[in-house]
Structure 1
Amino acid sequence: MKYMATYDVMESLRNTNQWLGASALAFGSYPAMGMVPNPFFQLVAAWGEVTERTFARMVAKPDWNINTVVAEDGRDHVVSVEKLVERPFGDLIQFRVHGRPPKARRVLLVAPMSGHYATLLRSTVASLLPDCEVFITDWHNARDIPVSCGKFDIEDYTLYLVDFMKHLGSDIHVIAVCQPAPLALAATAHLAGESPEAQPSTLTLIGGPIDPDAAATDVTDFGSRITMGQLEQIAIQRVGFKYAGVGRLVYPGLLQLASFMSMNSERHSRAFSEQILRVAKGEAGDHDKHNRFYDEYLAVMDMTAEFYLSTVERVFKTREIARNDFSVAGRKVDIGAITDVAVKTVEGANDDISAPGQCIAALDLLTGLPEAKKASHLEPGAGHYGIFAGKSWRNNIRPLVLEFIDANARSRRASPRLKTV
């Protein structure tokens, strides 16, 4: 599978489906079709509209669309997105609220690199902005990164987090969502051993696979069944000629999306069928519930092959984080070295991606941390998405996380900052 041809064939199929949708929309929308006493052409146009939008979103990077936030003075304040640290594979960005006094809470959201853009956390950012200064890791699409920029694996990812934390200072509160939870824990442990003065004040781990073997899911079952050789053969491709990363080995976002969709294929099929009928009846809107969800869900990005493969092998198969046997640049990272960072885990009772038990396993690894600085929360009835962006996050988890941050906040003190590149 490591051929540009397979990548380009997949992109060609996506492009063809987008074209078919646009053609069906145009054909079914001719005024003459309105004279036909049959809803067939309305359905053709509706199918085309939904299909074109669906396949176009797969190669689009979503916008943040967070333009203003209401402050204590009751006024809307303009929000701008600014890059603080720029790196080839990801940037540290800030949502700067203009005209508002700085907030005491400074939060670094560590976004997943698991096939979607950081905008997957848009609602999480929006919910925190009224009460916090918010920073986030904005990972780049591997297809757009030239081969000359080198590799990027989980050790590089961990070192990026280390640099971002150092830049923001020790009064930062880190919230890692899903995939980066074990690596955020490793980055904090790395700082505890190498630069203890730069450790964050708190670390909140939400639905992350600290110990994948603690509770089985379809994800962990797949990881245990397949060998690394098989995975490399079926999942890894070379970026085709259309993008700047031509020749780079990647795990394509379109393959990841196919995997996501297959897990709940019946639900997705029903959602698209119902949307086609709504469009045909004139009941759908450009930003209705369906489009808001799928515009984000379908926007996927490629991961570097070395990051994807090293994640599967070292986090899921050999469980290096769970066994406290993870190394970065040849130096062992000891999670037990964390003694002064309050750590909270959050899990959803109905999480089918990172099941209850996988994330809370982090607390047992923190052998040097006092029990008073450990906390956990299991949200009843919540699935994976709900614990960081849904109703469960808004109503229950967000207030608990902010209380945890306030209870363990350090007074702001001077700490070395990395020079912005």
Structure 2
Amino acid sequence: MKGMMSYDLMETIRNTNEWMGASARAMASYPIWGMAPHPMFKVMSAWGRVTERSFSRMVIKPDWGIKTIVGEDGRDHQVSVETILDKPFGGLIQFKVVDRAPMPRRILLVAPMSGHYATLLRSTVASLLPDADLYITDWHNARDIPVSAGKFDIEDYTLYLVDFMRHLGPDINVIAVCQPAPLTLAATAYLAQEDPAAQPRSLTLIGGPIDPDAAATEVTDFGRRVTMGQLEHMVIQRVGFKYKGVGRMVYPGLMQLASFISMNAETHAKAFSDKITAEAKGDGSEGDRHNVFYDEYLAVMDMTAEFYLSTVERIFKNLEIAKNEFVVDGKHVDLDKITSVAVMTVEGANDDISAPGQCVAALRLCTGLPDTKKAEHLEPGAGHYGIFAGKSWRNNIRPLVLDFIDAQAGTAAPKLKPSEKATLKAV
């Protein structure tokens, strides 16, 4: 069957590297080598530990790891993660804070389906949870979904978002990070047409390819160079016998991970070289920056072939969102119908995946929305990851997003303090 042997071969290579790492770690750790101390054994043990950990993480879904938050009363409040709506290809998760009254802000985070789990937004969740009741989309690994569950493409994804927004009610504020930005915009327009009362209160789009042609990147260049036939032949495989989704056509997470790493190969090579050196010297630790980052970065999931291919063809090649020509379930989704949902865009000046200009194009497309309900922010010096995690997000972007949300609710006057680092620009 097409692609099944190559899928299992990738898993075999991953498993072999994990085994080699474990073997090197065990062999170099024998006490007898203490009788002939040589740095080679410490390096071998360090290489084994790093290698085993790295390759084992690739098939493990990370835990959220958010146990408590500090409330306004100064006490630690326990946090539980509960699924409130579950569907075959994804669910809706709520972070429930024990003994906390309902918050005036209610936020839905739309996590990317681009090879990583929703836990990629762990730090984003942790930064917003003290100030809002928080929900997030939790997309399932395609390798674990039986073929009998049917297909899942970008139209299905959009309808999932529509269902999630309807379930949460019209006082929800939606924040879409990266890949889902164009489809979240489309879902909002769909509700504006079909069920206006269920529209969210505000929509914040962070670093998403609304108009990929607005600014070229390596990602958009690749999309132009490769035909759909070539792409399907090169990257689409069939899930092997080890998983519940055996036989399902997917874009494997391991292949996506290889693509991610190749974009910054030198940086990743140096990071692992430095980590092995630190471990050999005895300076490594379980919770150091390397482990925290790569435990998440290396944990990848498969996407359905139809979702990946339809994203490339319809979002990047045909520019259906950018041209306002997107169709869902036979209905043209007209972005002009968005007339009451406040829309904000956030971009990073150094973003090499969704370059500045791609996301802010959403404001141009929402012609039915008054300028008073549009806002944009360009974060100086921030790359793609920095606009939703890290210092730029925590210190500059997050406060602006919360102020924008509050302004739409009318619960507080906007507390915007423009500076050289962060400014919110009304269109």
| TM-score, with structure 1 as normaliser | 0.97
In structure 1, the partner of 2:11 is: 11
Do structure 1's residue 63 and structure 2's residue 85 form an aligned pair?
no
In structure 2, the partner of 1:139 is: 139
CA distance in 2: counterparts of 1:396 and 1:410, whole angstroms = 22
CA contact under 8 A between 1:46 and 1:276: conserved in structure 2? yes
In structure 1, the partner of 2:395 is: 395
| Greater RCO, CA 8 A, separation 6+ | 1
SS across alignment from 2:409: coil
**What's the offset of the Cα at 1:36?**
1.8
CA distance in 2: counterparts of 1:219 and 1:244, whole angstroms = 31
In structure 1, the partner of 2:264 is: 264
CA contact under 8 A between 1:2 and 1:233: conserved in structure 2? no
In structure 2, the partner of 1:280 is: 280
SS across alignment from 1:130: helix
In structure 1, the partner of 2:102 is: 102
1:152-163 correspondence to structure 2 within 5 Å: 152-163=152-163
CA distance in 2: counterparts of 1:390 and 1:362, whole angstroms = 25
In structure 2, the partner of 1:236 is: 236
CA distance in 1: counterparts of 2:410 and 2:138, whole angstroms = 26
In structure 2, the partner of 1:417 is: none
Q: Deviations over 1:246-268 (max 9, x none)?
A: 00000000000000000000010
In structure 2, the partner of 1:249 is: 249
SS across alignment from 2:130: coil
SS across alignment from 2:347: strand
Q: Deviations over 1:260-299 (max 9, x none)?
A: 0000000100000000011111101111100000000000
CA distance in 1: counterparts of 2:334 and 2:370, whole angstroms = 16
CA contact under 8 A between 1:201 and 1:410: conserved in structure 2? no
1:343-362 correspondence to structure 2 within 5 Å: 343-362=343-362
Q: Which runs of no fewer than 5 residues in structure 2 stay unpaired? A: 412-427
1:4-403 correspondence to structure 2 within 5 Å: 4-403=4-403
One-letter code aligned to 1:4:
M
CA distance in 1: counterparts of 2:116 and 2:241, whole angstroms = 22
**What's the offset of the Cα at 1:33?**
1.3
**What's the offset of the Cα at 1:34?**
2.0
One-letter code aligned to 1:241:
F
CA distance in 2: counterparts of 1:287 and 1:313, whole angstroms = 41
CA distance in 2: counterparts of 1:277 and 1:34, whole angstroms = 19
Q: Deviations over 1:224-249 (max 9, x none)?
A: 00000000000100000000000000
Q: 1:380 to 1:7 in 2, by over 3 A?
A: same
CA contact under 8 A between 1:348 and 1:382: conserved in structure 2? yes
CA RMSD of aligned residues (A): 0.8
CA distance in 2: counterparts of 1:355 and 1:32, whole angstroms = 55
One-letter code aligned to 1:397:
I
CA distance in 2: counterparts of 1:196 and 1:36, whole angstroms = 76
One-letter code aligned to 1:140:
H
SS across alignment from 1:257: helix
CA distance in 2: counterparts of 1:206 and 1:32, whole angstroms = 55
Q: Deviations over 1:70-95 (max 9, x none)?
A: 00110000000011100000000000
One-letter code aligned to 1:208:
G
In structure 1, the partner of 2:416 is: none
CA distance in 1: counterparts of 2:107 and 2:308, whole angstroms = 27
CA contact under 8 A between 1:337 and 1:368: conserved in structure 2? yes
| TM-score, with structure 2 as normaliser | 0.96
One-letter code aligned to 2:342:
A
CA contact under 8 A between 1:171 and 1:410: conserved in structure 2? no
CA distance in 2: counterparts of 1:52 and 1:36, whole angstroms = 25
One-letter code aligned to 2:301:
M
Q: Which runs of 4+ in 1 moved over 3 A?
A: none
SS across alignment from 2:356: coil
CA distance in 2: counterparts of 1:168 and 1:36, whole angstroms = 65
SS across alignment from 2:25: helix
CA distance in 2: counterparts of 1:293 and 1:67, whole angstroms = 19
**What's the offset of the Cα at 1:2?**
3.0
SS across alignment from 1:77: strand
When the two structures are aligned, how many residues end up with a matched partner? 411
**What's the offset of the Cα at 1:410?**
6.5
One-letter code aligned to 1:380:
P
CA contact under 8 A between 1:349 and 1:378: conserved in structure 2? yes
CA contact under 8 A between 1:250 and 1:304: conserved in structure 2? yes
One-letter code aligned to 1:276:
I
In structure 2, the partner of 1:414 is: none
CA distance in 1: counterparts of 2:238 and 2:26, whole angstroms = 34
